Structure 1
Amino acid sequence: MIITIGGLAGTGTSTVASILSQNMGIPYLSAGDIFRQMAAEKGMDVLDFSKFAEGNTDIDREIDQRQAQAARESEDLIVEGRLSAYFVEAPLKTWLTAPLDVRSVRISHREDKPVELVREEILTREKSEAKRYQEIHNLDIGDMEVYHLIINTERFDAPGVAQIIEKAVEVI
């Protein structure tokens, strides 16, 4: 089965995808992994490649294409990335959400930064990404109609969210 997992920063997409992969015995591919692979292919470290990618919309398109290609070539795959549901054919497209304050605290702990700084970084990043997604793909990241399952991760830990997704898979 192909499953996509998307969500904004701090919602737990990578953690949930990893747990789900282990629980279900299905490989997992993240947009971040593809980005790192592309950096290596160019002989660049991730920071240099990030700067290179800022003004190069072909990088975003290539990440989307590689995710879609991997899913087409797989019978079972969990694909994690903000836009995965838009480019990957999947019987279960999942979006994880959580309030901004919750996400800010999670990232603050993970990155050992002040919560208020993280909150501002999240807002800046999300505004920039929304604009970029609109310009590159004509997509509104806030449009949830593409998703089959939307989970607010505020009250559930990552293993619990993975269990919810597993239950959804059982009834498809």
Structure 2
Amino acid sequence: MIRPCTVVLNGDLGSGKTTVSVMLAERLGVRRVSIGDLYRRMAAEHGMTALQFNLHSELDDKVDHYIDQLQHDIAASDERLVVDSRLAWHFFTDALKVHLITDPVEAARRVLGRPGDAVENYGSIEDAGRQLADRSESERQRFLSRYGVDKTDLRNYDLVCDTTSADPEQVVARIVEMLERPPAALVCYLDPRRVRPAAVTDDDGEIAVVHRAPHFVAVRGQRRLEAAVRAGETLTPMELTSA
């Protein structure tokens, strides 16, 4: 049975949040709210690119105050929703909190393939990668300064999914599984090809990794990791550890 709660999605720029959130809302039969769409509209109204508006928001806190109040109001409504927002996990305390990640080069390739406009426009994969990294760091610093939270700390979330190679349908299926059988701790599904091997003393059992953004390094389960790569898996369950 699917538990009746809001699902909030955030994650890396270019990680597929829009596609996954649209599909998930349709699957659950609920309304989708995108704070990112609102942010892009506000950037266009100010005649700025997304990066410029991010930098503007660092200096003018009225933007964040407006969006924060909007998210507070939505959260207080108790409507069951799918919310696409890079900070909704901080405001929707009772929601299922999903974080999507992807390889930075793949993210740059994706956004470069979108139709360009005045808000988001990239000249090359290198340019896209640089702008995405700058926007992400601008957001991270702003959230740290204003809310004391780090969006890159994966412990903030209930589910982490790597969309580098996985189809959106696979990610939606993992989210629905979480709604049907909520676990007691964070669950990570990663592309095993993105996990770096390390000197592993315990080579048996399930895979355990440490996160050294943007990379993951295996500290346990090297045999299972190698088997997952050979099998062509795209979403392999792994334990996130601080060891």
Q: Do the aligned residues in 2 keep the contact of 1:151 with 1:161 (CA within 8 Å)?
A: yes
Question: C-alpha distance in 2, partners of 1:126/1:52?
Answer: 14
Aligned residues: 168
Match for residue 163 of structure 1 among 163, 167, 173? 173
Residue 95 of structure 1 aligns to a residue whose secondary structure is: strand
Could you tell me which residue of structure 1 aligns to residue 96 of structure 2?
92
Deviation at 1:129, TM superposition (A): 1.6
Displacement of 1:116:
0.9
Note if 1:12 corresponds to 2:16: yes
The structural deviation recorded for 1:36 is 6.2
- Counterparts of 2:46 and 2:24, CA distance in 1: 26
Kept in 2, the 8 Å contact 1:133–1:140? The answer is: yes
Secondary structure at 1:151 match in 2: strand
Give per-residue Cα distances to partners, 1:52-96, cap 9 Å, x unaligned: 645311211321231232122033111111111011123410000
| Change over 3 Å in CA distance of 1:36–1:11 after alignment to 2 | closer
CA distance in 1, matches of 2:115, 2:58: 22
Identical columns (%): 26
Closer, same or farther: CA 128–91 of 1 in aligned 2, 3 Å? closer
Q: Check the 8 A contact 2:8/2:84 in 1, yes or no.
A: yes
Partner of 1:30: 34
Aligned-partner Cα distance in 1 for 2:138–2:56: 16
Contact 1:67 1:79 in 2 (8 A): no
Q: Secondary structure at the match of 1:79?
A: strand
Q: 1 or 2, which has the higher strand percentage?
A: 2
Whether 1:104 and 2:114 are equivalent positions in the alignment is no
Query: Which consecutive residues of structure 1, in runs of 5 or more, have no partner in the other structure?
Result: none
The whole-number CA distance in structure 1 between the counterparts of 2:173 and 2:47 is 35
Aligned to 2:144: 134
Which residue pairs with 1:151 in the alignment? Answer: 161
Q: In structure 1, what is the Cα distance between the partners aligned to 2:37 and 2:115?
A: 19
1:126 shift after superposition: 1.7
Matched residue SS, 1:161 = helix
State how far apart, in whole Å, the 1-side matches of 2:109 and 2:48 are.
28
**8 Å Cα contact 2:9-2:97 kept in structure 1:** yes
| TM-score normalised by the chain length of structure 2 | 0.62
Structure 2 unaligned spans of 5+: 117-122, 183-243
RMSD value over aligned CA atoms? 2.4
Native 8 Å contact 2:75 2:91 kept in 1:
no
> Which one has the bigger helix percentage?
1
Aligned mates of 1:125, 1:35 — CA distance in 2? 13
